[in-house]
Amino acid sequence: MMKNILRVFSFVCAITTYAFASFTAFAQDDQAQQVQVEERTFTEAELAQMLAPIALYPDSLLTHILIAATYPIEIVEAQRWLLKNDKLNSTQLVKAIETFEWDASVKALVPFERILNRLSEDLRWTQQLGDAFLENEERLLISIQSLREQAKLPEILIKWRT
């Protein structure tokens, strides 16, 4: 009888040890993945490619785009709502969404259907844009200014040649 109790106890200890070891390994893998996601930084080339489609928008609109990109679900909701209410003009749209609980930046983009559609249709890009904004706003804004300067370069060269 005592041998059976010891066998059962040994078995329970072995299973407990295995379960604890598995849980610890799983937790470490999960932590490693989380740290990897948190440490994700975008290269200058990735930032340039990500920001090129929006870099030349006016600062006020660009600010709304960058902040709204941190709310991708609300962007999708706004775009779907806009599709259902496509008969409303800009003034009616703004009035209709006043009471919605979307972030102010998302609400500000509702009158800009093309921009809202782009953000909603390419969620991977939108998510990366939001992540880059949250990661390092200052670096992102410097990258935008660099893209704007590059866009001016051909204009300067044309003026210089004539």
The owner of tokens 């093309």 is: 114
Q: What is the pLDDT of residue 12?
A: 44
Q: What is the pLDDT of residue 22?
A: 52
Q: What is the pLDDT of residue 28?
A: 58
Report how many helices (DSSP H) and strands (DSSP E) the chain contains, helices first.
Answer: 9, 0
Amino acid at 133: F
Q: Which token pair is 84?
A: 């259902």
Q: What is the pLDDT of residue 27?
A: 52
List, as one string, the DSSP characters of 52-98: TTTTTS-HHHHHHHHHHTT-HHHHHHHHHHHHHTTTS-HHHHHHHTT
Q: What is the pLDDT of residue 19?
A: 47
**pTM of structure:** 0.70
| Cα-Cα-Cα-Cα dihedral sign, residues 124, 129, 133, 136 | positive
Amino acid at 69: A
Residues of the chain under the 70 pLDDT cut: 1-40, 154-162
Domain boundaries, the chain: 1-39, 44-161
107-141 pLDDT tens trace: 999 999 999 999 999 999 999 999 999 999 999 99
Summary mean pLDDT of the chain: 81
Q: Is 38 helix (H, G, I), strand (E, B) or coil?
A: helix
Q: What is the pLDDT of residue 2?
A: 53
In whole angstroms, give the CA distance from residue 151 to residue 153: 6
Q: What is the pLDDT of residue 35?
A: 46
